[in-house]
Structures are given as structure tokens and as C-alpha cells.
Amino acid sequence: MKRKILVAYDGSELSREALNEAKLQARGVPETEVYVLSVVTQAGPSANMALARSIEWELADNLQTEMQKIKEEFEADGITIYTDVVIDVAQQNAGEKVCSYADEYDIDLIIIGNRGLGAVKKLLLGSVSTRVVQHANCPVLVIK
């Protein structure tokens, strides 16, 4: 039975731990496919959209380089992996994009890092992991 795992990756330590968890789970279940998704949301001053877009493209390029390294690591372990960097032009919470991606690719499990923001910051800023937990149509494993 084919299993699909999606890792939401932002370059943080916790998202790297999420990658490690996906690798462990993929080794234990034959025919597991791992999808790694990075979502770039608004970066830079919203008053200067040209500058903000330029920064977003630069971030996406940097993530693309990281994704290639991740892909090579997983393939060296014999794990099927797909990577994607998406610039969210709608400027939603990145969690919305993670959930829609999971639906589009029929993902069985999402693994995401929790940044560990305090209750006040979560309330003010919103949390990608919280959004994914609340809106995903499949199980979510949050790495703390």
C-alpha cells in the first residue's frame, strides 16, 4: 500500500527534525513517498510590492538549493521524494497552502515543526502549525 507523507519545510531546526521523522517513517513502510513543501509568503515592505516580490523570489531560490540537498539525501537512502517551493501570491497563512497541497496530492500524513511561540504571539501572529492542525483533512504530526 502506497503511503504519502508531506513535510512542511521552512529551514528551521524543527522542520529539519520533521524531515528526519519522515525519513524514519519512510524506511519503515515500503512504497512511501515523501513530499517536502516550502511556502514563501510576503517578505519585505508591503508598501513596495516590487521589492517584496524580489525578496520572495530570492528566498524561493535559496530554498530551492536546500531542497536539492534534501532530495539527494532521501534518494541516497532509497526513499522516493518530491520537493516543491511555492510562492503564495495570495499571501495567506502558509498553513492554508500546506493544507490545500495535501488535499491536491492525497497526502496521508503531514509532519510539521512547531516553532514554540508563546500563547500571546500565537494569538497575535497566527501559527502555521496550528492552522494545519485545525484545517488538514489528514493526520498531522507536530514536532516540538
The total number of structural domains in the chain stands at 1
Dump pLDDT digits (tens) for 70-80. 999 999 999 99
Domain range for 128 = 3-143
pTM of the model: 0.85
pLDDT tier at 54, thresholds 50, 70, 90? low
- Residue 110 has a pLDDT of 98
Instruction: Give the whole-number percent of the chain exceeding pLDDT 90.
Output: 56
pLDDT at 26 > cutoff 50: yes
Any idea what the CATH number is for the domain that residue 32 is in? 3.40.50.620
Count of helix runs (H) and strand runs (E) in the chain:
5, 5
Q: Of 54-68, 88-102, 116-130, give the range with the top mean pLDDT.
A: 88-102
